[in-house]
Amino acid sequence: MSSVATKLMTAEDFYDFVNEPRNRHRHFELEAGEVAKASRPGEKHGLTCTNGIYRLSSYIRQREKGYVLSNDGGLVLEHDPDTVRGPDI
């Protein structure tokens, strides 16, 4: 048996991939260089995130430091191999 080496995707490759027209309404994350489907959140999930964003944004504004991102911000968490997540908040 022979093994076939697959090329791991970089964060830049992943950005291009998720912005292809065929992926417009699909959700993905990059896990250690490999594309993984992400589930689509529902209404209750969205409400919970909205409440969390509201509270964190108020806290951040008072301290005048940082910022809050909402769903699927595309944060690069690791390099070589790259991991890109779309955290809820």
Structure confidence by residue, pLDDT tens digits, 30-61: 999 999 998 888 899 889 999 999 999 999 99
More confident residue, 43 or 70: 43
When pLDDT is cut at 50, 70 and 90, the band that residue 73 belongs to is confident
Please choose, from the candidates 82, 87, 27, 89, the residue with its C-alpha nearest in 3D space to the C-alpha of residue 54: 89
Q: Write down the pTM of the prediction.
A: 0.75
When pLDDT is cut at 50, 70 and 90, the band that residue 2 belongs to is very low
